[in-house]
Amino acid sequence: MRMSSGPARRFVLAGLAAVMATGRQARAAGLPEVAVTKDPNCGCCGKWVTHLREAGFTVTVTEGPVDPVKARLGVPRDLASCHTAQVGGYVVEGHVPAGAIKRLLAEQPKATGLAVPGMPIGSPGMEVDGIEPDTYDVVLFGPETRSVFARYRGAELA
């Protein structure tokens, strides 16, 4: 017991240091926090949160009904997906790749936010083993405007 406590403790401390370093990197990169609202039973939503964290974002998750949040934040019905997020004054609807969010934050276009309508197969959090990823648009939307911000195939730019 005594002999193993030393190395075990070092391992835990190394883990803590790694977590703290990751936090510092996220702040150094100037990434604002992402606030996600999702249904507690939504598995793909949780996988998308993991995708964002792996990309360096700090993410807070609120579990509850998503439709009132979409309505309040101005997500058009036909652009709706499963989860809804807010980051840096923008709305992010659905399985938007982290790279597109970073570009949004860097470019600061005049818009409500980004949406990936529906749930395309292969988008971050929607990977399905053995099924070819879809090609899909990341839509930049405002109250009266829409444009294709990026086109992806799976997790990669198409």
Report the alpha-carbon distance of residue 102 to residue 118 in Å, rounded.
Answer: 21
Minimal distance, residue 83 CB to Cu ion, in Å: 6
* Dihedral sign of CA atoms 102, 107, 113, 114 in order: negative
Q: Label residue 97 left, alpha or beta by phi (over 0 means left) and psi (-120 to 50 means alpha).
A: beta
Q: Which is nearer to Cu ion, 102 or 127 (CB)?
A: 127
Minimal distance, residue 42 CB to Cu ion, in Å: 6
Amino acid making up residue 71: A
From candidates 82, 91, 111, 115, binder to Cu ion by CB under 5 A: 82
Minimal distance, residue 119 CB to Cu ion, in Å: 4
Contact between 92 and Cu ion by CB under 5 A: the answer reads no
Q: Which is nearer to Cu ion, 111 or 125 (CB)?
A: 125
Report the alpha-carbon distance of residue 24 to residue 151 in Å, rounded.
Answer: 31
Name the segment binding Cu ion (CB under 5 A); options: 8-16, 20-28, 38-46, 96-104.
Answer: 38-46
Contact 78, 93 (CB under 8 A): no
Task: Summarize as ranges the residues that interact with Cu ion (CB under 5 A).
Answer: 44, 82, 119
